């Protein structure tokens, strides 16, 4: 197991800037699993700079659970539980924060390894498991008041007959995407206008803007973007946790005439009842009396919080993140919960490598879990893909289906050394 601190100096151009994160340096606590057979597994935790070293240390603290594992006997359900239930390390969470990011990096690396050994991209590997096998990958503790393993098997069994048809369809057509590239808070109006127009010309039917720092600025930027794209294009907005509950409702009512498609992370990600109150406050706030949807998830720490957000009917859109919760296994639990509650999943992506990894979960969700595309899009941000061995491919506003074996998480060796922190050429 090799762990590296890799940081990209994105703060120099304000890529990724928003109301709470004005100067991110997109970073990866990057793991390589090396095996006697020569196959490698790659995974990472995503951070925005400072603290990436803490993540590296957290991954190192799990070393004894990883090194020496027998590949042929490796049960990825058991492996994920092993990494999240060390009785002493669990004190640092439980199942949240830096230890959970560390577990995610290792669990996703193990899935990358398994998919490479199978000669399949992760989404196709997952889509080949039986309903019972998929359910056995999930840690069901704390979930059974909302969804039981037996009900999850039923849900997956209902979706089973259509898998072949949907696999062929999604492999040919790709998965819908939306883009945030136009909307960073640090961009001036001319840049927002130009990028919004380019997005629509490129085939996107939805874009997202960052909001929440200054109402007058938000209104001006939103108007510029709306004018650029016209009324038929969805424009979502993202406050990155900036507001208290009443502020969120008031602010969104001001933006409502511009027809925001959803408000993302309006308040603290931990505030489940706050999200429910905001959603209730915006049910008829849209321009024609419809709802302004509420979306969250990129900072929702684990399956238990997603369960509560769904039980409280606090969100309209479930935003999984490939690297925030404990990897494929916990995201599988969240996909099952979302399907059981009938809520669309629109993954959070961007950063470095998040698009590459999370696309596999959406393709799999369509094939084997929800069987739905309606209201579903994967976020796309056009940064740093050139550093990946198997970068995402966007064609006319859709993610093309990944075809290479693995999880698309591998960064080119030259980039790993150039952006190594603090000694790589870029930082030294």
- Give min distance, CB of 354 to Mg ion, in A: 11
Residue 277 CA to residue 286 CA, distance in Å, equals 16
Report whether 317 contacts 86 (CB < 8 A): no
Residue closer to Mg ion, measured from CB, 110 or 384: 384
Q: Which is nearer to Mg ion, 131 or 344 (CB)?
A: 344
Estimate to the nearest angstrom the gap between the alpha carbon of 70 and the chain centroid: 30
Of the two residues 222 and 419, which places its CB atom closer to Mg ion in the complex? 222
Number of residues that bind Mg ion (CB under 5 A): 2
**96 is an active site residue:** no
Burial of 288 (0-12, 13-18, 19+ CB in 10 A): exposed
387 catalytic per annotation: no
Kindly compute the dihedral angle of the four CA atoms of residues 119, 123, 124, 126, in this order, to the nearest 10 degrees.
Answer: 100
Nearer to Mg ion, 5 or 25 (CB): 25
* Shortest-Cβ-distance residue relative to Mg ion: 238
The runs of H, that is alpha helices, within 34-148 are 52-60, 76-84, 97-118, 122-127, 131-136
Residue 146 vs 349, nearer CB to Mg ion: 349
CB 170 within 8 A of CB 363: yes
Backbone φ and ψ of 154, nearest 5°? -60, -45
**How far is it, in rounded angstroms, from Cα 320 to Cα 308?**
14
Q: Could you give the string, one character per residue 261-290, with x where binding to Mg ion holds by CB under 5 A and - elsewhere?
A: ---x--------------------------
| Structure-block tokens of residue 269 | 């990600």
Binding status of residue 356 toward Mg ion by CB under 5 A: no
Q: How far is the CB of 136 from Mg ion (least distance, A)?
A: 32
Rounded least distance, CB 330 to Mg ion, Å:
19
User: Which tokens belong to 425?
Assistant: 């050429």
Query: Who's near 361: CB < 8 A, 6+ residues apart?
Result: 123, 320, 322, 328, 331, 335, 347
| Contact pattern from residue 184 through residue 223 relative to Mg ion, giving x for each residue in contact according to CB under 5 A and a dash for the rest | ----------------------------------------
The burial class, CB within 10 Å (0-12 / 13-18 / 19+), for 167 is buried
Residues 220-259 that bind Mg ion (CB under 5 A): 238
Residue 228 vs 346, nearer CB to Mg ion: 346
* Shortest Å distance, C-beta 195 to Mg ion: 17
In eight-state DSSP terms, residue 420 is B
Kindly indicate which of the ranges 194-202, 223-231, 260-268, 396-404 contains the residues binding Mg ion, using the contact rule CB under 5 A. 260-268
Please report, as residue ranges, which positions from 120 to 179 form the binding site for Mg ion (by CB under 5 A): none
Q: Please state the closest distance from residue 191 (CB atom) to Mg ion, in A.
A: 19
Least distance in angstroms from the C-beta of 126 to Mg ion: 25
Cis peptide preceding 358, ω within 30 of 0: no
Shortest distance, position 346 Cβ to Mg ion, whole Å: 11
Q: Which of 42, 208, 210, 307 is catalytic?
A: 210
- In the bound state with Mg ion, the residue whose beta carbon lies nearer, of 264 and 330, is 264
Number of residues assigned to the chain: 428
Here's the x/- map for Mg ion, 22-61, by CB under 5 A: it reads as ----------------------------------------
| Closer to Mg ion by Cβ: residue 3 or 292 | 292
Residues with Cβ within 8 Å of 6's Cβ and at least 6 positions away in sequence, in order, are: 27, 28, 29, 30, 44, 52, 411, 415, 416, 419, 420, 421, 424
Q: Which of 365, 404, 401 is nearest to 163 (CA)?
A: 365
Catalytic member of 301, 307, 343, 348:
348
Minimum gap (Å) between residue 254 Cβ and Mg ion: 20
Contact 333, 143 (CB under 8 A): yes
User: Residues interacting with Mg ion, by CB under 5 A?
Assistant: 238, 264
Residues labelled as active-site residues: 210, 348
């Amino acid at each position: 197991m090799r762990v590296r601190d890799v940081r990209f100096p994105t703060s120099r151009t304000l890529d990724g800037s928003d109301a709470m994160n004005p100067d991110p340096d997109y970073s990866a606590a990057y793991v390589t699993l090396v095996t006697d057979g020569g196959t490698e597994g790659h995974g990472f935790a995503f951070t925005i700079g400072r603290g990436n070293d803490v993540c590296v240390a957290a991954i190192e603290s799990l070393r004894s659970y990883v090194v020496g594992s027998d590949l042929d006997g490796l049960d990825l359900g058991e492996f994920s539980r092993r990494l999240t239930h060390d009785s002493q390390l669990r004190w640092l969470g439980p199942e949240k924060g830096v230890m959970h990011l560390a577990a995610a990096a290792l669990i996703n690396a193990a899935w990358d390894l398994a998919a490479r050994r199978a000669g399949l991209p992760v989404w196709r590997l997952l889509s080949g498991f039986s309903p019972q096998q998929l359910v056995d990958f999930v840690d069901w503790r704390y979930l059974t008041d909302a969804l039981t393993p037996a009900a999850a098997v039923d849900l997956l069994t209902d979706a089973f007959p259509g898998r072949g048809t949907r696999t062929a369809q999604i492999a040919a057509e790709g998965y819908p995407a939306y883009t945030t590239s136009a909307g960073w808070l640090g961009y001036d109006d001319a840049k927002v206008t130009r990028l919004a127009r380019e997005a629509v010309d490129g085939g996107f039917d939805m874009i997202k803007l960052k909001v929440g720092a200054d109402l007058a600025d938000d209104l001006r930027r939103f108007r510029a973007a709306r004018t650029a794209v016209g009324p038929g294009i969805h424009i979502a907005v993202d406050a990155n946790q900036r507001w208290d509950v009443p502020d969120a409702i008031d602010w969104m009512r001001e933006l409502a005439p511009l027809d925001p498609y959803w408000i993302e992370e309006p308040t603290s990600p931990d505030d489940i009842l706050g999200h429910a109150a905001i959603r209730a406050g915006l049910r008829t706030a849209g321009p024609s009396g419809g709802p302004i949807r509420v979306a969250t998830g990129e900072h929702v720490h684990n399956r238990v919080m997603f369960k509560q957000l769904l039980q409280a009917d606090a969100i309209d859109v479930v935003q999984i993140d490939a690297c925030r919760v404990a990897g494929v296994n916990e995201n599988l639990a969240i996909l099952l919960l979302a399907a059981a509650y009938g809520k669309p999943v629109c993954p959070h992506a961007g950063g470095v490598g998040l698009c590459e990894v999370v696309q596999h979960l959406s393709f799999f969700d369509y094939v084997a879990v929800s069987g739905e595309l309606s209201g579903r899009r994967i976020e796309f941000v056009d940064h740093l893909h050139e550093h990946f061995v198997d970068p995402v491919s966007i064609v006319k506003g859709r993610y093309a289906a990944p075809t290479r074996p693995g999880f698309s998480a591998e960064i080119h060796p030259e980039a790993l050394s150039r952006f190594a922190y603090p000694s790589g050429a870029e930082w030294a």
